[in-house]
Structure formats: C-alpha cells, structure tokens
Amino acid sequence: MNINNIHPSWKSFFDSQIELAYFDSLVSKIDNARSSTTVYPPEDMVFSAFKLTPLTEIKVVILGQDPYYNEGQAHGLAFSVQHGVALPPSLKNIFTELKNSVDNFQIPSHGCLESWAKQGVMLLNDVLTVEQGKPNSHKNWGWEIFTTNAISQINFSCQNVVFLLWGGNAKTKSKLIDKSKHLILESPHPSPLSAYRGFFGCNHFTKANNYLISHGMSPILWELK
C-alpha cells in the first residue's frame, strides 16, 4: 500500500502502526487480494482521508463502515464518491438532511466530499478496502485496529472535535473519545433502512457548526459546488 502521499502531520502515527504485527499482516492480505481480485479504492486512494485532512486541523470526524464496492465509486473518503458517479442512497439521505437543516444548502449534482475533507472533516471508514461487489469482504483483516488507533490519536492530539457517529458500528467508537474535550453526536445510520428512525431531523450539521463557533473555530461550509 502506498503511504507516501499522506499529510506529514500523520507520519508519526503511520510510523507507529507500521511497526505493529497486525499492520504487516494487513498489508500482506491486501497485496494478495489485489493480485487476484479487484480491490477498491485504488491503491493510491486508500489513505485519501489522511492526505486531505491534516491531524492538526481536524474539526469534525464522520465515521463510515467500509468503502463502496462498485467500480468508480470509492476514493478513500467515507460516504464520498468520485465525480461523475451516481449518488449512493446513504449519501442522498445525507444531502436530504443537509437541505432540511442547513440554510441555503442545495443538493449538488455530484457526491465528491473532498471540499469537506480539506476543511477539516475527517471522513473515515472503519475498514478502508473492499473487494469489488462484496461488501464487508475485508472485515476483520486488521483495518478495525488501524482505525481504532487513528481515532484514539485524534482524541489525544486534538481539542474540541465533533464526532458524528451514525449507526451501531460507529457508536461503538464512543468509548475511545474523551467527552470532556470533544462533542459526540449519535444517530441512526443514513442508509434507507434506518434514516427515518432518527437520522432525518438529527440536525448534526448545524449542531457541529454551533459547537465549533462556540469554541472559536470557523464553521464547516457544507455546501458543495
């Protein structure tokens, strides 16, 4: 895997993980998978979140599960898809909640969330790779250890981060987060199966910005051009 394009602020974290046995095993599994199957996202995009969002500038963390598994979708940012790709259902629901809760938000023609990442929104999946057409195919390969450690690093290194935990899987990470210096907002997952159980109307995007402003930080511009 290519870790040369991560932001320098993440280098010491990656150096610490590379030395651990689980990471060596994980890399071997993914290299073997790429030799015989199609794996998403492409190798140079696996760590996009760590390239676009410096550790020192994180304001919001949005946790996903694993990457989209169809061609051209996944590019290393949770919930985001590349330009020219149809919006997946969960992302449509995220945009619906934004339109209903954020003034002047217009549902965009694309689903690329890079502008969020560049503003300090860490779009982190729990598992960072997947086999084409097979959701959760790389579950329990070791990614969960990596992302747990990444969240712990954010918790330790940063102040006043808003963690948006959508769905049961994301909520399990709450125990890693110091509630005395960060804000945790929880809701059901935005997937069509659960969005109507409380994701719609959660108002997380406005609550996140209100928290950031109250701690002297600039809000996230959620609008996508």
**Which residues are annotated as catalytic?**
66
Cβ neighbour number for residue 109 with a 10 Å cutoff: 10
* Omega of the bond leading into 108 within 30 degrees of 0 (cis): no
Residue 184's DSSP bridge partners are 163
Closest CA to 222 of 92, 124, 107, 109: 107
Query: By three-state DSSP, how is residue 186 classified?
Result: strand
Nearest 5 degrees, angle CA 102-CA 103-CA 109?
A: 75
